[in-house]
Amino acid sequence: MTTYVQPPVRDTRAGSVVAALVQTGIVSPIRQNEAITIVDGVLADRPAAAAPLRNRLAELAGYVGGALVVSAAGIFVTAQWASLSHGEQIGLLIGSTVLLAVAAGALVVIRGGRAALREAQEAVRRRLAGLLFTAAAGTASAAAGLQAEHVLDSHDSAAALVASLAFLLLSTVGYLIAPTVVGQLGIAGGAFMTVPWALDEFGNISPIPFGLSVVVIGVAWLVLAERGSWRETASARVIGSTLAVVGAQIPVFTSDYPWVAYVTTATIALAAFGTFMVRPAWPYLAAGVIGVTLAEPEAVLDWTGGTVGAAGVLLVTGATLLAAALLSLRLRREVKQAAAPSGPRSLTDADTQGGAAQYGTAPPFRNA
């Protein structure tokens, strides 16, 4: 049984409120302690403490310093890379990986280790560690791909597949240690790059299987987001929606079956609108609007054989965008009306306790 340790609070209603939000899916379960701290601060008229200025300056200095070091190293390596032997190239990449991983590990072990790294007050340390882990994954995957190319001797697709899989795996490990938006982007990039090289190894890298595979990744990403598997739920919704729409559009580059692109895009758009009615998050609304705006002009061009001309395409695109925007406004209004309370009421202890009892979460946090 999972153990929930309630953080120190001044207002006993905070735990009940957050428990109800977790049960309805509005708050991710892995962020409930952070949510309790914020809600407790609001209820007790004690705003959550912002990160100290020195922490923000330290984070900024870390980013700027890291960017300067990487830029200098990139300039040097670019100028000298061709003259280096294979062993020197591998050694340089491995050395960079070790340096980045050690720096990230140092940020993790200090001040409480991995568990403390996930607390809200350690956001600066977590972001820096996540960035370093993702960078280490990049250099390690480059070393793996270079070595695979050397061993396999001119099998470029196999070497690229090895590098992509290594980046995907190592980015995932880094995210599990220090979850950040950068880590999510690393995982998404690794997954996206793995698809074409894997298909190429199986002899079928046509746009349709490539695009549909990316759509599957995007949908799976969104499912994990709604299950609370990603710490950064809003960013996960954006990444998953982007992957789904981009994947749906990839088949448009094939001349044999262009209809696959607009049919898939329209399906994703409708699914996004439907999901927005259940989970009112703006990335779903944006995915629906973008999907409809892309799918309808593509369908018109395909059905008319391109005879409508540029002006016709612009007209159809503009009309579709306006219609999609009006639809999105209507959906937002319906969602707000459905979520609005029946009358003005003040939040009381009875309300929050009743809400917790309704969802079967009272008492919300206890040691099991």
Using pLDDT thresholds of 50, 70 and 90, give the confidence band for residue 245: very high
Other beta carbons within 10 angstroms of residue 67's beta carbon come to 10
Mean pLDDT value of segment 7-11: 58
Q: What is the DSSP string of 60-77?
A: HHHHHHHHHHHHHHHHHH
Residue whose pair of structure tokens reads 């609001």 in the numeric block: 42
pLDDT at 125 over 90: no
pLDDT in tens, 340-349: 554 444 444 4
Q: Is 8 buried (19+), middle (13-18) or exposed (0-12) by CB count in 10 A? A: exposed
pLDDT digits (tens, 9 = 90+) for 149-176: 888 765 678 888 999 999 999 999 999 9
Q: How far apart are CA 216 and CA 148, in angstroms?
A: 28
Query: Token pair 């448009």 is at which residue?
Result: 252
Q: Is the pLDDT of residue 363 over 50?
A: no
Q: Is the pLDDT of residue 119 over 50?
A: yes
pLDDT of 360 strictly over 70? no
Q: What's the pLDDT score for residue 261?
A: 85
Q: In the chain, how long is the greatest CA-to-CA distance?
A: 75
Q: What is the pLDDT of residues 92-112, one digit of tens each?
A: 889 888 988 998 888 888 867
Q: Which residue has the higher pLDDT, 316 or 87?
A: 87
Instruction: Specify the pLDDT at position 314.
Output: 61
Tokens, residue 42: 């609001």
Task: Tell me the pLDDT tens digit for each residue of 134-150.
Answer: 999 999 999 998 888 88
Is 243:214 a contact under the CB 8 Å cutoff? yes
Write down how long the chain is: 368
Q: Residue 51 pLDDT more than 70?
A: no
- Whole-angstrom CA distances from 356 to 18, 273, 351, 367 are 9, 30, 9, 17
Domain boundaries, the chain: 1-49, 51-204, 206-340
User: Residue 137 corresponds to which amino acid?
Assistant: A
Closest by CA to 230, choosing from 168, 278, 176, is 176
Concatenating the DSSP letter of every residue in 31-44 gives GHHHHHHHHHHHHT
Cα distance between residue 304 and residue 314, in whole Å: 15
Candidate ranges 30-34, 125-129, 319-323, 324-328; pick with highest mean pLDDT: 125-129
Q: For the ranges 39-53, 179-193, 290-304, which has the lowest average pLDDT? A: 39-53
* Predicted pLDDT of residue 312: 57
Residue predicted with more confidence, 323 or 34: 34
> What is the overall mean pLDDT for the chain?
76
Number of CB atoms found within 10 A of residue 275's CB = 20
CA distance 73 to 262: 44
